[in-house]
Structure 1
Amino acid sequence: MISCTVRYEIDPDQLPAFEIYAKAWIHLVEKLGGTHHGYHMPHEGPNDIAYCHFSFASLADYEDYRTRMHEDPDCQRAYAHARATKCIRRYDRSFTKPLLAGVSVEALGL
């Protein structure tokens, strides 16, 4: 499994527009075969930073998603919304391999 974290710098005055964008992408990632772990919106601290996390079974599946995303009219509508509202100032992506199962301290020999 590979997970993608996107860190967004958003326009705080366009938070409702960004929420529309986020809700669309939760649906779109799942429609295109991924698992979306949600958006994490500003609450305390900086009011212009948001995150999202989503996963695919493999890097190849993620790359296939990226290809299909560029061809999907609903994805293009979501991008057009972000451009029209200027709710996103910038973003960057990072990729991680999640560790999801814990083990007792005793079993680990600690």
Structure 2
Amino acid sequence: MITCHVRYVIDPKKIAQFERYARMWIPLVEKFGGTHHGYFLPAEGANNIALALFSFPSLAAYEQYRHDSVADPDCQAAFEYAEQTDCVLSYERSFLRPLLAQDTK
């Protein structure tokens, strides 16, 4: 399993727009075989940083999702919404190998 950690720099004046964008992606990741662990929006501290975590069975499955999402109309709508609202200023991805509770037994 591989987990993608996305760190977003967002416009703090457009948190509502970013939240709408985030709500679009949760079911889309799942549509393509991933498990979305949620978005984490600013609460205390930095007001312009948001995080997302989602997993795929393998890096190959993640790469297939990336490839297929480009042609998917719902994914394209999410990309366009972010572009139109300019709620995401930048983002960076990291890939992690999770150690989960069931892995400790």
What's the TM-score bracket when you normalise by the shorter of the two chains?
over 0.9
**Which letter does structure 1 place at the counterpart of 2:26?**
I
TM-score by length of 2: 0.96
Q: Distance in 1 between matches of 2:84 and 2:63?
A: 27
Matched, 1:94 2:94: yes
Question: Which residue number in structure 1 is paired with residue 65 of structure 2?
Answer: 65
1:30–1:103 CA distance, 2 compared to 1 (3 A): closer
What's the offset of the Cα at 1:38? 0.1
What's the offset of the Cα at 1:103? 4.3
Aligned residue for 1:24, secondary structure, equals: helix
Aligned residue for 1:46, secondary structure, equals: coil
Aligned residue for 1:71, secondary structure, equals: coil
**Which letter does structure 2 place at the counterpart of 1:80?**
E
1:27-79 deviation line (CA, Å, top 9, x unaligned): 10001110000000000000000000000000110011011011101001001
Question: Which residue number in structure 2 is paired with residue 40 of structure 1?
Answer: 40
Aligned residue for 2:70, secondary structure, equals: helix
Task: Pick the structure with greater CA Rg.
Answer: 1
Q: Distance in 1 between matches of 2:21 and 2:60?
A: 25
CA RMSD of aligned residues (A): 1.1
Question: Which residue number in structure 2 is paired with residue 20 of structure 1?
Answer: 20
Q: Distance in 1 between matches of 2:96 and 2:104?
A: 20
Aligned residue for 1:43, secondary structure, equals: coil
Point out where structure 2 has 5 or more consecutive residues left out of the alignment.
Answer: none
Structure 1 runs (4+) greater than 4 angstroms displaced = none
**Which letter does structure 1 place at the counterpart of 2:98?**
P
Aligned residue for 2:43, secondary structure, equals: coil
Question: Which residue number in structure 1 is paired with residue 74 of structure 2?
Answer: 74
Q: How many residues align?
A: 104
